[in-house]
Structure 1
C-alpha cells in the first residue's frame, strides 16, 4: 500500500524496517549515545532508547504498522551532496485513521539536521502520498504547546499547502512526564490541490 521509498530534492525516505535500518544504527541515533538526545526528545512522546532491545522492538512495531496498512514509517537520509549524506537523520511517519478519512504526520530529527528545511520537504512528500496515492480527505499535524521550533516549521508548510491552525487541544498529547497540550493543524485534500495547482 505504501511506497518503499520516496525521493525528494534533498532527501530519501526509505521504509523504516530491519532490512533498511540496523538495530545498532537506530540505537545510536535514538539513545543517549546521541549527545543531543534529551533536546531532541524534549517534545516527543518517547524517551531515549535505553537498550538495543528497545530499538529492535521499535523497528518491529514500525514493520507491524506498515504491514497492517496503518502507519507508514520512513527513515530519513540526506541525499548525495547534502552534509551527512546517507546517514540516518531521523524518522517520519504517516498514521492513517481510515475510518476518519484522515492521516497524521509525525517526525523527529537528530539535532545536526535541524534548521535545513527537511521538515517541510518531508511533509510535502507525505502530503502527496496521502492525497494523491491514498486519496485521504485530511492530513493533520500537531506539536506540543510551547515547541517553537516545530511551530515555525509546521506553520510554514501548512500555510504553503493551503491548510490552517485548528485549535489548542488541552491534555491531548503524551510525553514521558504525562499529558501535554497540543496545537493542531490540518490540510484538506481540496486545499492542497488548490494550493499546488492540482484542481
Structure 2
C-alpha cells in the first residue's frame, strides 16, 4: 500500500534500506558530512560516531516499515546515475535546500489519499525557528491548525518540549 519509491520534479523518495544505500556511505554522511552538527541540532539523534549506530538505525527503519509503524525514505535529487542524497524523511527531515514544501506535499498526499487518514501531526522542537516557519506554511497551504505544545513528548539533549500542528 505504501510506495517504496516516489518521484517528483525535484526529489526521489526511496525506502530507506540496506539495499537502497550503502551502510558506509550513509555512515559517512551521518558522521562527518559538512554541516552535520547544524543539521542534527534539532533532530532526536546526534551525528553517528560508529558504523554500528548507522547499521542499527537502518535495521530500525526496515523493521518499522514492516510493522507499518514508520515509513522512512531516503531523499535524492534526480539527474545522474548516482543521484545526490539530500536527506531522510519519516525519521529525519532534509535540511536547508528549500525542498521542505515539496516533501510535505508528497507526505500529506500519502497520509490523506493513500492511507485515508484523518489527521497528520507535524512536530518540531520549540527553538527550531526554521522548521516552525516551514510548518506554518504547511498549515496555511493545507488548512491545518496550531494545537500547542506536547510536553515530555520526545527528549532531545535534555529538552522535552515539542510543538505540534495538525493538517
- Which is strand-richer, 1 or 2? 1
Question: Which position in structure 2 is the counterpart of 1:144?
Answer: 125
2 CA distance for matches of 1:60 and 1:52? 12
Once the two structures are superposed, residues 67-119 of structure 1 have per-residue CA deviations (whole angstroms, 9 ceiling, x without a partner) of 111111000001229xxx811111001xxxxxxxxxxxx53225xxx142x11
Question: Which position in structure 1 is the counterpart of 2:3?
Answer: 3
3-state SS of 1:88 partner: strand
Superposition RMSD in Å: 1.6
Unaligned residue ranges in structure 1 (runs of 5+): 94-105, 188-199
2 CA distance for matches of 1:153 and 1:166? 16
1 CA distance for matches of 2:25 and 2:140? 34
Cα shift at 1:154: 1.2
**Structure 1 residue runs of 4 or more that deviate by more than 6 Å after TM superposition:** none
Contact map agreement 2:64 2:71 (CA 8 A) in 1: yes
2 CA distance for matches of 1:61 and 1:70? 10
Alignment of 1:94-113 (within 5 A): 106-110=91-95
3-state SS of 1:40 partner: helix
The one of 84, 89, 94 equivalent to 1:87 is 84
Aligned residue pair count: 166
TM-score (norm 1): 0.78
3-state SS of 1:168 partner: strand
Question: Which position in structure 1 is the counterpart of 2:41?
Answer: 42
Once the two structures are superposed, residues 125-175 of structure 1 have per-residue CA deviations (whole angstroms, 9 ceiling, x without a partner) of 011111111111100011101111101111112210111111022333321
Contact map agreement 1:80 1:86 (CA 8 A) in 2: yes
1 CA distance for matches of 2:93 and 2:97? 13
